[in-house]
Amino acid sequence: MNIDFSPLTIPETGNIVFLFSENASLSNTAQQLDNQTQGALTRAIEIEQFSGKKNSLMNLTAPAHTQLNRIIVIGIGKGTELDIQQAGDTLVQSVERYQLSTIFVVADSDEQAAHFAYGLELSNYRFDKYRTRTELQASCILEQVSMLTAQPAQAKLLHQPLHAITQGVKITRDLVWEPANVIYPESFAQYCETLSDHGLEIEIVNSQKMSELGMGALLGVGQGSAHESLMVILKYQGAAADQAPVAFLGKGVTFDSGGLSLKPNSSMNTMKEDMGGAATVTGLMVTLAKRKANLNAIGVLGLVENMPSDKAQRPSDVVHSMSGQTIEVMNTDAEGRLVLCDLLTYTQRTFQPKAMFDLATLTGAVLVALGDEIAGIFSNDDQLAAQLTAAGEKEAEPVWRLPMGGQFDRLLSSEIADMRNNGNKLRIGGASVAAQFLARFIENGTPWVHIDIAGTAWAHEHLPNKPKGATGYGIRLLDRLIKEQFEA
């Protein structure tokens, strides 16, 4: 889809879109078109009882006294940024119905133009890479959008950082959609190498080097796979070199069979998505580089495949983490925390970040607790958790803080090692137990937030600005937090 920003003039042909706030009167441009159609627009609004309610849409086909195909009016409610972005989603849902390959959108302000274009980009997404039959492909796609506004150059400038977000979101969605025979540790790492074109510095750490570093917890997860386990480091420098970075860590289990603690088939079918945390961190780092964010950032990806074989990790094995702590592996399907714990230690000791965020499709328990539209967060820093919660509310990527400590810490007791990798009371506080496990690897009080995106990384139905499937959840959330709290 190509988007341009053009001067505010009424086109003679094609499809024109107006954005209406709730119970608002016609804008000057809409009034001009109403006069040209001899009141057809006003009459249609009256007959349809169109009030501008959020996400409502009215279509006027072949309006009289014009050569236009359609006049489409979309309600934007109170006209907040989110309302306008979600109006873009409303239009995208009507593209096939009304055959809207090309549209002109009249915006009342440059800000409105930028955010409506942003909403279109977030929603205008399909993963059709492997569809070869014509009847399975979209009958019409939105190809050309002209945003008509008073100051197109200013609107384009406002849109640029928003466009950077959509580029990151698309990367994340594409990675999560790809099947596990296409995206596995080596191919994921190879893809990351191409991101240097966006201004990122890429480092790939192989299994031998990780073994030398003592990362036995991470390596144990992947030892049953034919694919090599890898760690990828994405570096972005947008501030002075002596400024401590903010670090983002991603669980990248490219396929999770459960290992020898084998999942049932119904649970395994979706496990190509278990690298969603790493995919989100990848997309976020591209977004920061594309919009030239004013901070230093580090992305650390733990890429493994969890498979059963004669070399696979066994339940009751004891592994040595990079921190020096030992872990009794009681369930090989509680593998994500084993990947993350070594990433946490490596990141703290190597980069001394001012704050750390890890993202992981970690537990089914968080999905049971919060559903599939809210991520669970756990933190050792009240202020950081509150700031992240506020950012989520602004970006429609909500989070809810869940507890750690106390009883959850006791559940990690092992009879032969420093801890076990799951709770010793099955199905009790699973998301909190997993977070408490990770908390044991936080050193020197580093501010840290664990974000469990097991429910939010994938949508089983269409949501506003999040097409069904891979959502790209977390990029808008963290980009907002970075803008508000970490950029100088």
Residues contacting 27, CB < 8 A, separation 6+: 18, 106, 108
CA distances from 220 to 30, 261, 274, 308, 320 (A): 64, 14, 17, 12, 9
3-state secondary structure of 361: coil
Residue with tokens 């790209």: 472
Report whether 273 contacts 457 (CB < 8 A): yes
* 3 state SS for 204-223: EECHHHHHHHCCHHHHHHHC
DSSP result, 177-194: HS-TTTSSHHHHHHHHHG
Handedness of CA 32, 34, 61, 95 (dihedral sign): positive
Is residue 354 annotated as involved in ligand binding?
no
Q: Which residues are catalytic?
A: 263, 337
3-state secondary structure of 91: helix
Is residue 333 annotated as involved in ligand binding?
yes
For the record, the structure tokens of 361 come out as 């499709």
Q: How far apart are CA 35 and CA 127, in angstroms?
A: 42
Strand-pairing partners, residue 9, are none
Is residue 178 annotated as involved in ligand binding?
no
Report whether 19 contacts 104 (CB < 8 A): no
Is residue 83 annotated as involved in ligand binding?
no
For the record, the structure tokens of 453 come out as 């995106």
Other CB atoms within 10 Å distance of the CB of residue 284: 31
3-state secondary structure of 11: coil
Q: How far apart are CA 226 and CA 180, in angstroms?
A: 13
Is residue 251 annotated as involved in ligand binding?
yes
Q: How far is CA 30 from the centre of its chain?
A: 36
Annotated binding site: 251, 256, 274, 333, 335
Annotated binding site for Mn(2+): 251, 256, 274, 333, 335
